[in-house]
């Protein structure tokens, strides 16, 4: 941060970032969401340091050990162990890594591809636009999980393929948002001025129009992470996502289904992590929406 210049007067417009933070921090929900997201991200990054055990190490002396506050539990395995004696806490922490990775990768790919397709549609219009938007309509028509399942059925189960499947499922939203924003921006004077100045199409696309379409995209990206985590976990639960030894939360739930009657912790804890993470990203997304895009503000 540089020092404020002395010419700045009291009625000068605040820096956009400061204005953004002012309206973002007005919402308790948004702050809570940001806090939870940051904590989970930190835990994920430092999972190796924080986790007491390896997520894959099994202990044949401690199958389905309950958490420490229950009878028979111990602080060696603070949140208990699963059916083959792996430490739940360590698996949950390493699972945070996978889930956040899935969320971020899905959103990064679909955002990049969606923005590109949306820009092309918005600038070229005509046949290209019709074809692309029709394809997006078809993708939107199918129930999201069904479409993801179809894609995984073609590619085969696995975490990378699940990521790819969820990416395709969420792609249409980014294409639609970008295209609509581009079309709205293109009719504005600054674009015309830029064009008259001799700016080429690429320059217009990325340097003039795109920054002005950023707000709805940022909001969608934040909400999109929660969708991605939820869908990937559902795929994992159906046995189509991340495969068995990986500590992905949905996969862990699928593995623990048969112990639902005997060991509540192997079923409850991974779901609780999914719920908390998804909720935090939803709160964060809502907060970003209210701060960045007053037009979309929910009442």
Binding mask 194-233 for other proteins (x = CB under 8 A): --------------------------------x---x--x
Footprint (CB under 8 A) of other proteins, residues 93-152? 134-135, 137-138, 141-146, 149-150, 152
284 binds other proteins (CB under 8 A): no
4 binds other proteins (CB under 8 A): no
Query: What DSSP assignment string belongs to 41-72?
Result: HHHHHTHHHH-SS-TT---TT-TTPPPTTSTT
299 binds other proteins (CB under 8 A): yes
267 binds other proteins (CB under 8 A): yes
Distance CA 79, CA 117 (A): 46
Closest CA to 287 of 295, 297, 277, 278: 297
Report the residue number, 174 or 249, with the smaller CB distance to other proteins: 249
Q: How far is the CB of 53 from other proteins (least distance, A)?
A: 24
244 binds other proteins (CB under 8 A): no
Distance CA 129, CA 191 (A): 20
Distance CA 205, CA 295 (A): 24
Contact residues for other proteins, defined by CB under 8 A:
29, 134-135, 137-138, 141-146, 149-150, 152-154, 226, 230, 233-234, 237-240, 250, 253, 257, 260-261, 264, 267-268, 270-271, 274-275, 278-279, 282-283, 298-299
């Amino acid at each position: 941060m540089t020092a404020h210049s002395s010419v700045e007067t009291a009625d000068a417009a605040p820096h956009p970032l400061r204005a953004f933070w002012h309206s973002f921090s007005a919402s308790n929900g948004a702050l809570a969401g940001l806090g939870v997201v940051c904590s989970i991200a930190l835990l994920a990054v430092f999972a190796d340091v924080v986790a007491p055990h390896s997520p894959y190490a099994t202990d044949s002396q401690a199958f389905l050990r309950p958490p420490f506050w229950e009878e028979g539990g111990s602080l060696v395995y603070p949140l208990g162990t699963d059916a083959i004696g792996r430490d739940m806490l360590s698996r949950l922490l390493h699972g945070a890594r996978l889930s956040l990775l899935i969320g971020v990768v899905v959103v990064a790919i679909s955002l990049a591809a969606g923005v590109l397709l949306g820009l092309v549609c918005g600038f070229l219009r005509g046949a290209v636009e019709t074809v692309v938007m029709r394809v997006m309509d078809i993708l939107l028509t199918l129930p999201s999980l069904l479409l993801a399942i179809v894609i995984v059925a073609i590619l085969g189960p696995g975490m990378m393929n699940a990521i790819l499947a969820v990416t395709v499922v969420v792609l249409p939203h980014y294409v639609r948002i970008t295209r609509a924003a581009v079309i709205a921006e293109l009719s504005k004077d600054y674009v015309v001025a830029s064009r008259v100045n001799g700016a080429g199409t690429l320059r217009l696309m990325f340097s003039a129009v795109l920054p002005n379409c950023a707000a709805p995209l940022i909001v969608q990206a934040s909400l999109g992470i929660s969708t991605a985590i939820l869908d990937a976990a559902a795929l994992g639960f159906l046995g189509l996502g991340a495969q068995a030894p990986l500590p992905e939360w949905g996969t862990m739930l699928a593995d623990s289904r048969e112990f639902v009657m005997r060991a509540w912790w192997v079923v409850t804890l991974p779901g609780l992590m999914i719920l908390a993470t998804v909720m935090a990203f939803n709160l964060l997304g809502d907060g970003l929406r209210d701060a960045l895009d007053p037009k979309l503000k929910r009442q």
